[in-house]
Chain A
Amino acid sequence: KAGVTQTPRYLIKTRGQQVTLSCSPISGHRSVSWYQQTPGQGLQFLFEYFSETQRNKGNFPGRFSGRQFSNSRSEMNVSTLELGDSALYLCASSTRTGGPRAYEQYFGPGTRLTVT
């Protein structure tokens, strides 16, 4: 089974621009969660989508948003980029449909975003 894929793997943007990142979950997984990883703050939860609906949201400003499509693929958007948004953005998928392994989250390789 193919793992979680994320595109692009690397991105350089300028302050004030916006960016869209994409995540394709493991086949059959209906939940996609997004995390931000930085050296200072570590791994922080952004939001989770399940059945095209945002189910949970972490403590991030409204500039961070996302959506999920009917095929479970998800996109994350960051508007008005700031220098502090430079980070590795990871998505993780899980089944969320019952059973003992429903909440196991499997991560993709991440998108490295650099804001200059």
Chain B
Amino acid sequence: GENVEQHPSTLSVQEGDSAVIKCTYSDSASNYFPWYKQELGKGPQLIIDIRSNVGEKKDQRIAVTLNKTAKHFSLHITETQPEDSAVYFCAASREGGGADGLTFGKGTHQIIQP
């Protein structure tokens, strides 16, 4: 089955600086890669996703890049703000028939320092 590794496990960033979280996956058939943000006491919130036919996707301060050859994808957050403090999860899956659900990384606890 799929295996997703996520680094770092903890990330401390000065407010206004950029943050990068990296993930690798093992199953070359995976073609859908979402990122979730989870705040204390809440369920994961989908913040951005990318499909394997695209190399990069951007939404305001958030961007995701995908390297299919190397089987890794990254989340980039620019101009970080206090509300960006949360746990971030990457995930991978196969869309379409036979999907096995999302396989998640272990999470990155991001702390934005004022």
Beta-carbon nearest neighbor of A43 in chain B: B104
Measured between alpha carbons, how far is A59 from B36 in the docked complex, in Å? 22
A90 cross-chain contacts in B, Cβ below 8 A: 43-44
B101 and A107 form a contact (CB under 8 A): no
B residues with CB within 8 A of A: 1, 32, 34, 36, 41-46, 49, 89, 91, 93, 95, 98-107
Beta-carbon nearest neighbor of A88 in chain B: B43
Contact with B along A48-73 (1 / 0, CB 8 A): 10000001101100000000000000
B101 cross-chain contacts in A, Cβ below 8 A: 33, 35, 45-48, 56, 58
Measured between alpha carbons, how far is A109 from B41 in the docked complex, in Å? 7
A4 and B104 form a contact (CB under 8 A): no
Residues in A1-57 with C-beta less than 8 Å from chain B: 4, 33, 35, 42-48, 55-56
Least CB distance, B1 to chain A, in whole angstroms? 8
Measured between alpha carbons, how far is A105 from B104 in the docked complex, in Å? 13
B99 cross-chain contacts in A, Cβ below 8 A: 48, 55-56, 103
B42 cross-chain contacts in A, Cβ below 8 A: 109
> Given contacts A44-B104, A47-B101, A110-B43, could you give 10 more A-B pairs where the C-beta distance is less than 8 Å?
A33-B102, A35-B101, A43-B104, A45-B100, A45-B103, A55-B99, A56-B101, A59-B1, A104-B46, A109-B41
